[in-house]
Amino acid sequence: MIDTDIFIVAVGVILFALVSGQADNRSITGPIVFTGFGLLIGAAGLDLVNLSIKNEAINILAEVTLVVTLFCDASRINVTALTKEHRIPIRLLTIGLPLCMFAGALVAWGLFPALGFGASLLLGIALAPTDAALGQAVVSNQAVPQRVRQALNVESGLNDGLAYPALLIVASFVLGSEQMKGAAEWLIFVAEQVILGPLVGGLIGLAGAIAAEKAKENKWMDEAFSQIIVLGLALAAYAGAGAVGGNGFLAAFTAGLMVATRAKHIVKEAARFGEAEGQLLSLVVFLLFGAILLPDAFTSGILNWRIWLYAVLSLTVLRMLPVAISLIGAGLRPATIIFIGWFGPRGLASILYVLLLLEQSDIGIANVVVQIVFASVILSVFAHGLTAMPFARYYADILNAKTGASENVRVKAFPTRHNS
């Protein structure tokens, strides 16, 4: 049956690849197509695949995809240039992101008091990272001011890596471990994960960046291996941190940040790798999301109204209000604040975070948390995907009617993650 499952998934990838150029110019995005195809072939449709949410292959895919995503996203962003020119994403990441987490937690606690504040906070964190790939028409639309496009691009590139430490800390406390019998052991565990992981990742990323640049300059490295070294560095950071008790995902993210600042040649290769192999992994996750994860999460029947209400609030008020607060005094027009607030799609990171939580917890997280996250993602896949192009055009028209808009200030451009 596994061979049949792989065959069906492969056919879906091939068919989309054949028409992917047409999708670039339309509101039908890759995540929409693959999620829809997954729903068609999964238990909710023709029931052609025979995998479950607890399948080891899915867990491995989730881990590899998150490692590659964190590394490639971080490698696109030069932190030095970011702090000099990009004030909007800095505000979004340092003020908006924490506010989004806590606002999501408070509303979840109110709507689902049985969860408790800890699990509610876990939910708020899982739904805080954004995925610009779902609104690719925005970050690639030249009519939208470059400063705004780059703000969304940088925010989505860094917030998944910045949210993960919070997820890790809260999850280790809420879900717990029978081996951790007290606060002291919990603090030691968190310190090892949060300190050793970035330390090892930073060292591996720095050493790898220097070595790769030297090899590139002296023409020691064959061109065919330029992208392979990207995967090698990401996996080395992940495995190296795990070997000493650190967190591998934080290590991969930190390694990517080091590469961004020290290896200009490898940054280009990391962007190409993210557009090819990284995109393939991401789209397969969306296919499995539709085929397996959604049906498995909702086996108890279609959701109650509170879950759908929270999902809608998560994509609107719980995103847009923190964004508006974080951009007070930034000199942006109301249309820009609304535009940035709306285009905070939930996608890959939220799916992968839930899979990791399910994998690492023997007792599992509350089924309602899984349902809320997946309900939010499925709404976002279609809502943000379908509105990206028309909203971008409408916003550009509004801004073009204004003169001297601060949004039109040019800033350093970072590579975007392409995921049509």
In the predicted model, is pLDDT for residue 21 greater than 70?
Answer: no
- Full set of structural domains in the chain with CATH: 2-408 (1.20.1530.20)
Higher pLDDT, 306 or 228: 306
**Cα 173 to Cα 51, 162, 193, 292, distances in angstroms:** 30, 18, 13, 29
| Rg (the chain; Cα; Å) | 21
Which alpha helices (H) appear in 175-304, and where do they start and end?
183-191, 197-217, 228-243, 248-262, 264-273, 279-288, 294-297
With bands split at pLDDT 50, 70 and 90, how would you rate the model's confidence at 178?
A: very low
Average pLDDT, the chain: 83
pLDDT number for residue 18: 78
In the predicted model, is pLDDT for residue 5 greater than 50?
Answer: yes
pLDDT number for residue 365: 65
In the predicted model, is pLDDT for residue 339 greater than 80?
Answer: yes
Higher pLDDT, 322 or 215: 322
> Looking at residues 221-248, what average pLDDT do you find?
87
Token pair 């001297």 is found at 404
Contact (CB, 8 A) for 416 and 140: yes
With bands split at pLDDT 50, 70 and 90, how would you rate the model's confidence at 1?
A: low
Contact (CB, 8 A) for 74 and 253: yes
pLDDT number for residue 420: 39
